[in-house]
Structure 1
């Protein structure tokens, strides 16, 4: 039984379309490497580790925000879109980083946060000072309150990080913030807002940036025609119609068509990928359009168990979406917003997992004493090796190449994520557990992250996962990632695969057009590779003769 799924790439697009099958490594700058010893990762710290990135074998890095910020939301509250936070370095440091990465053949993607600014942004400070009815306030979303004295918010909407979505200012008006209070939403109907972001895209493109990741790309345009709906009424509205008042509106693509014209001013054109949490494949496809951003994240595997049926459905669906749009899909198992997949896979299946708050619980609703760390790591390596064999681009999150688990033992006093303090989701723990600074050495006060401590506490077990330990161990997770990323380029001919019937529902197998095959055993019983075992060049667990162990993936070279 075979089932071909194809996404064609023209030969003349290979340079310009490097992103189609790229392995992109996400760097959370404040937690990657600290060059000046202040406990906060910085741009010079990234420069100091460019050889590590080159040895890893990635095609590009994606930097989470490094802009001036009060860190009300880990840097996603941007005070200046065209500068570097002085705690992280300077524009000259940024230029040096881009040059160092480009010298090693690594492209650079940066985060753009267009839905909101920081409340410290000069525009918002101007809006506060200018008062009611001013042109400065028109760049944001200000409204009068309800009730006789306007003391009630314009609506009962809630913010994503908990609490109300409106905040009152000194003169009595209210402003909308879909996320933290310190993140006022911009008014994308305002021509100055649109023009300023075009300026920002050119600013970074002129400095050599190769692409952009667009934060909450689906939320920019809003219909705030009065009367405004209540929270309950919002919940009943169709989010797939393109007419929802607050999310995924059709006119947002007019903005991205303007951006695409800017991207295409450069040779090669700058790339973009949308973080768009939308309801249907058809809605996601609009963001991946060649006339728009060109690519959109598929987050389906973030909410999937380590299960063959779920992986098969998600892979087939997303390859079909990519074929229909002419884009390429994206594969993601971990990022700065979710529980590390080694931990997710070491807990009970998502569907049957309870939810409880408390620091003794790892994120994703599982108690520490029910986490099977070894099994989680084993499954994580198998899943990653499967993804790296697929057509499309793969996004890796810093530390997953070390097999890091989520860090749960962070006290309330040490936590930083606003969602933790404001009672939002993320299982009551927030997202700090996946943002703990990386361990580079097995010893030292911050495991080699910096000279003296780290801005989030690192657990003692980080020593086992330090880069210097894993680099010396050919059986480590780091060695597996390096081997896979080195070999991955041999797989990347056409963006296509053909599924092969394995005779077992818990074993998936597919072939790439140039003859490479990938086999993943999601079950516990070994799978017999027969004569193909002789051509296995990489596996997440060692074969037992011809048998692929349970919860393992193997790459088979052409005979």
Structure 2
């Protein structure tokens, strides 16, 4: 595959300004933000709904407004002040994940689209996010929710056009948001022209049948017969998703062209799907029998195999280096690598971060969560996530009483934090719509925006039923200082103050506690009240004072 391409050295990130300082540099006194309406003290930003202009921030992230070359003053576009993407360090970014089909429909066809996302950017900016990540919107048969891509360089008509994509990128940048697109290097749709025009870009069996015993992620053999050629091809996921052959040098070159296509249009980086699947054993040898349960949950765990040869080949670093070389040192690259943290070294050598799946799958028990955090923080490049389009939403994952504590944990750990659309409203899983074979529709129900028909998501018939969270729609939570939306806003604002460093602390049974500089975080995952760590000032908490017991599901961010 050619020599590994090392990314150019990056300049050290500049220090983040603190939200806790006034414009004249004097320290501003913070008062405690608590969970209940009557305890939300201090001023709160007015943000959110469609059509509202986000207020200028005083945290230093947006103090330079973009304009024509040489121009330092405000530059208004369409009535809004254009702002540069926030210059915060990459490893502190809060990234808001958008599942385009379920975010906002602008044309009444029941499917969310790119123009709809533009209409709702005020909500994301008002939340305090630094970046957005869009799940795939490329032309696709939608066998796997868009991860079966039929054309990497276009937009599926149900979601819009290339012009709409350009408008979205520009509008996001005006809101101070970086833009990450989802790219899928492991496989294409079987309807992608490459599958017929470049069959040598894919992995084929040299037998009249499966080459080996590999299993597909969603169950069943990883080999299927092509009805046109009669040959058997590899698919790590659904049969409609044939795997690309990254050992053919033409494949990384073609994929590099895809990355540059979008980077040239202003995208800031990519979330890279199923990255550990792109390079397999070159001899396509069988996977050995498993010697125990898989380290992370697998849909095919009953197959009794250890996926040693079907993924994560020893020379995977060469492929990751080629991706970085194509994207360049300035692109933000986050890898979906379904491995334990101690196996991520070849990936984080070239990527900005990799998702921590130990925490995502850890049982909501103090010792298990502590172990997951300890493992993932060793790389220094963790991207934290607690729910997404593939896995259960937070109320279903940790239980309703623990949702605020889970959000506090996510947004105070060292590293990137990924917030899935609707988590800031307390959304739970909805009904299964029957579109996805793996039953993931329940994680993808549309956003409930307001009290209009279909919760403001669409004027037509929504592609999935809409479920309103217990705290209400975004509009209902907008002016409620005790809402989940207010909790997320305060958390993200306070996150800007947290200094570097990380130390897990000894704590009472059932309590997870850690220190970040002068800040202390504690959450009670147990079933009985426990004493909190000794602290001086509470900044955000679900209890009344630092001397009060930490109740089950309780959480606190404080200084000592």
Normalised-by-shorter TM-score class: 0.7 to 0.9
Is contact 1:79–1:118 with CA below 8 Å preserved after alignment? Answer: yes
Q: Provide the residue aligned with 1:214 in structure 2.
A: 272
Compute the displacement of 1:235 (Å): 4.7
- Superposed, 1:239-278 pairs within 5 Å as 244-264=308-328, 269-278=330-339
Match of 1:285 among 345, 355, 378: 345
Match of 1:317 among 371, 375, 384: 375
- Superposed, 1:76-225 pairs within 5 Å as 76-126=147-197, 136-146=198-208, 152-168=209-225, 169-223=227-281, 225=283
- With 310-319 and 336-345 compared, the bigger mean Cα shift is at 310-319
1:518 and 2:491 correspond: no
1:335 and 2:388 correspond: yes
More helix by share: 1
Compute the displacement of 1:545 (Å): 7.2
Is contact 2:366–2:510 with CA below 8 Å preserved after alignment? Answer: yes
The 1-side partners of 2:215 and 2:160 are apart by 36
Relative distance call for 1:77 and 1:532 in structure 2 (3 A) is same
Q: Provide the residue aligned with 1:465 in structure 2.
A: 472
Q: Deviations over 1:237-288 (max 9, x none)?
A: 9999x994321012221121122223335xxx1121111112x433212211
Is contact 1:336–1:435 with CA below 8 Å preserved after alignment? Answer: yes
Compute the displacement of 1:466 (Å): 1.2
Between the two proteins, the alignment pairs up a number of residues equal to: 470
SS at match of 1:465: coil
The 2-side partners of 1:54 and 1:20 are apart by 19
Match of 1:480 among 452, 476, 487: 487
Q: Deviations over 1:65-96 (max 9, x none)?
A: 11111101000000111111111011111111
SS at match of 2:370: helix
- With 46-55 and 165-174 compared, the bigger mean Cα shift is at 165-174
1:435 and 2:429 correspond: no
Relative distance call for 1:137 and 1:270 in structure 2 (3 A) is same
Compute the displacement of 1:51 (Å): 0.4
SS at match of 1:182: coil
Relative distance call for 1:125 and 1:463 in structure 2 (3 A) is farther
SS at match of 2:344: helix
Q: Provide the residue aligned with 1:549 in structure 2.
A: 551
Q: Provide the residue aligned with 2:401 in structure 1.
A: 378
Is contact 1:442–1:462 with CA below 8 Å preserved after alignment? Answer: no
- Superposed, 1:12-27 pairs within 5 Å as 18-27=89-98
Match of 2:361 among 303, 306, 311: 303
1:67 and 2:75 correspond: no
Is contact 1:447–1:463 with CA below 8 Å preserved after alignment? Answer: no
SS at match of 1:523: coil
The 1-side partners of 2:262 and 2:526 are apart by 47
Q: Provide the residue aligned with 1:400 in structure 2.
A: 423
| Large movers: runs of 4+ above 6 Å | 13-17, 236-240
Compute the displacement of 1:34 (Å): 0.8
Is contact 2:150–2:190 with CA below 8 Å preserved after alignment? Answer: yes
Q: Deviations over 1:88-125 (max 9, x none)?
A: 01111111111111112111111110010011111113
Is contact 2:90–2:352 with CA below 8 Å preserved after alignment? Answer: no
The 1-side partners of 2:309 and 2:318 are apart by 16
Relative distance call for 1:224 and 1:508 in structure 2 (3 A) is closer
Compute the displacement of 1:54 (Å): 0.4
Relative distance call for 1:145 and 1:315 in structure 2 (3 A) is same
TM norm structure 2: 0.78
The 2-side partners of 1:316 and 1:62 are apart by 26
SS at match of 2:259: helix
Q: Provide the residue aligned with 2:503 in structure 1.
A: 498
Compute the displacement of 1:18 (Å): 2.5
Q: Provide the residue aligned with 1:453 in structure 2.
A: 461
Is contact 2:535–2:546 with CA below 8 Å preserved after alignment? Answer: no
Question: Once superposed, what is the RMSD of the aligned Cα atoms?
Answer: 2.7
The 2-side partners of 1:521 and 1:237 are apart by 31
TM norm structure 1: 0.78
Q: Provide the residue aligned with 1:353 in structure 2.
A: none
Relative distance call for 1:500 and 1:453 in structure 2 (3 A) is same
Relative distance call for 1:57 and 1:114 in structure 2 (3 A) is same
SS at match of 2:408: helix
Is contact 2:342–2:375 with CA below 8 Å preserved after alignment? Answer: no
The 1-side partners of 2:547 and 2:290 are apart by 56
Is contact 1:439–1:463 with CA below 8 Å preserved after alignment? Answer: no
